[in-house]
Structure 1
Amino acid sequence: MPERNIEFGAFGARGIKGHEAVARQLDALAGFIATPVTVRRGLLARLHYLTRTDHARAAAREAGLTVTDRTLRAWLEGRRSPSRQNLARIEAAYRAVRRRNVARSLLARLNRAGRGTRVEFHPLNQSQVPRPRQRALSYRTLNVRHWDRIVAAWAAGDDAALDDAWVSDAVVDLGSEWGQYEYVTNIGFAA
């Protein structure tokens, strides 16, 4: 696509890719457990979420948590503690399963029966860019009506598909200056 930045930040601009900001916002809307997995309470909450039904256990195994039922029981009862690698696997499996579980309801909230959701684009930070090289960027808003591909890519954890869906389904609707909002400081929306 035209206007893709090849050497972002060469002159001191700071920001993140738009799809990364969208993923952060969707994560915030998903309502993950706030207590860290390293704390007993957070570990138990994640393990209960991943083991309460047969469907949840199957999804956890698909997401990479491949320990025996005996080990899971020992963790839940407090007889043993998971290693750092297993804590990371538990966190990754929890996030993957939670994303899949909330994707459908989140999609309905964002699409709002065809009305869509208003999205705010906060432009990148140019405070470190020399004056002659700064672009005139402004805060923009856009009503995104089609979230299907964006939420599906987010739920699958596929960054490349999320980037493609975000650019082709949302950002190009900004018109001829859409390339200026490929990198942003923040993207905000509420559903």
Structure 2
Amino acid sequence: MPERTIEFGKYGARGIKGSDAVARQLDALAGFVATPVTTRRGLMARLHYLTRSDHARAAAREAGLTMTDRTLKAWLEGWRSPTKKNLERIDTAYRAVRRRNVARYLLARLNARGDTRVELHPLNQSQVIRTRQRVVEFRSLTIRHWDRIVEAWAAGDMQALDDAWTDQIVDLGSEWGQYEYVTNVGFAA
């Protein structure tokens, strides 16, 4: 059984951790607000999402966004603008709350038929000298249980997501270590 990659990129290979690619794909499926938080429209969309109900406000506070009702009213009515630090907090809280809200729906879709086909695009070895290149090809994998992956993603726990993802790619057999780092992971829900 291969060990985990310790010195990725030592010989010039390029890619990202497979778990990061999965998180990126789940983020795309979550459908975040596309307008940046630095614009008025993006800020308003996030603030309305975070304050539309008592439950949403509680989740925003839990995600680290603390503000008084007076400050919120000033932001919503345009009397004041949030500082750069507060804009970052608003965006971070929005993403955390959105992930939590969408997680159950995504989990149901990914587990719906009992399996979801995942495409693994191998790492980029164009900068690696020929004698050091591995034979790595496009692979696909069927994942039947997404619970741990989606749960870790929703919580924002990247270590747990990496562990859950590694447990799934072990199903590739003795070659699983070649797919710990990839250029892309694709799946649909």
TM-score for both structures, normalised by structure 2:
0.98
The residue number in structure 2 matching 1:62 is: 62
Q: How does 1:3-82 map to 2 (within 5 A)?
A: 3-82=3-82
In the other structure, the counterpart of 1:83 is 83
Deviations 1:147-177 (A, max 9, x none): 0000000000001000001101x11111110
1:96 Cα shift?
0.2
CA distance in 1, matches of 2:77, 2:26: 33
Which residue of 2 is the match for residue 121 of structure 1? 120
Find the counterpart in structure 2 of residue 181 from structure 1. Answer: 179
1:88 is matched by which residue type in structure 2? E
User: 1 CA distance for matches of 2:77 and 2:113?
Assistant: 45
Q: Percent identity?
A: 79
Q: 5+ unaligned residues in a row in structure 1: which ranges? A: none
The secondary structure found in structure 2 opposite 1:11 is: coil
Matched, 1:111 2:111: yes
Displacement of 1:127 in angstroms is: 0.2
Aligned residues: 189
Q: What is the Cα deviation at residue 3 of structure 1?
A: 1.9
TM-score by length of 1: 0.97
Partners of 2:119 and 2:2 lie apart in 1 by 23
Deviation (angstroms), 1:2: 4.1
Alpha-carbon RMSD: 0.9
Q: Find the counterpart in structure 2 of residue 135 from structure 1.
A: 134
| 1:152 corresponds to 2:159 | no
Contact 2:2/2:175 (<8 A) preserved = no
Deviation larger for 58-67 or 105-114: 105-114
Residue identity matched to 2:35: T
For residues 27-65 of structure 1, the C-alpha deviation after alignment (integer angstroms, 9 at most, x for no partner) is: 000000000000000000000000000000000000010
Whole-angstrom distance in 1 between the partners of 2:84 and 2:24: 24
Contact residue 2 and residue 176 of structure 2 kept, 8 A: no
